[in-house]
Amino acid sequence: MVLNTDSMKPIYLQISEWIENQILNNNILVNEKVFSQYQLAEMYNINPATAGKGLSVLLNENIIYKKRGLGMFVSPGAKEIIFKKRKNETLKNLITQLIIEADRLNVSDEELFQLIKSIKKNIKEE
């Protein structure tokens, strides 16, 4: 992975997403040790505190867990947590953009709902 320092997304979130991708791709398995903040800092030439913040995000979301004195490990159920989180975030963002655009075009809630139902029906028929 290459960190995008020009991105609007903070580096610590890029780190946490990279680790999530490693988990989803089975590069890091359940109960397997993840990279330490110092390993991540060295790999990406970043401050260890930034790497630690990325790990803290995953820890707070129960994607990884800490074994005192041993490091951080992938939690059982981590993949399901990541799937759920990404589905919720992705759909929420898409729906938000849809509503904003519908408002710009003066599309009523009922028109929007009917359009969604119609498109959903067409997709299911294909």
At 17-68, the pLDDT tens digits run 999 999 999 999 999 999 999 999 999 999 999 999 999 999 999 999 999 9
Q: Beta 71-74 vs 64-67: how paired, if at all?
A: antiparallel
Segment 104-126 mean pLDDT: 93
Distance CA 20, CA 15 (A): 9
pLDDT at 123 over 80: yes
pLDDT digits (tens, 9 = 90+) for 79-111: 999 999 998 888 888 999 999 999 999 999 999
Asked whether the predicted pLDDT for residue 126 surpasses 90, the reply is no
pLDDT of residue 65: 98
Residues 6+ away with beta carbon under 8 Å from 18: 1
Structural contact between residues 13 and 57, judged by C-beta atoms closer than 8 angstroms: yes
Question: What confidence score (pLDDT) does residue 41 get?
Answer: 96
* pTM as predicted: 0.75
Whole-angstrom distance, CA of residue 10 vs CA of residue 116 = 34
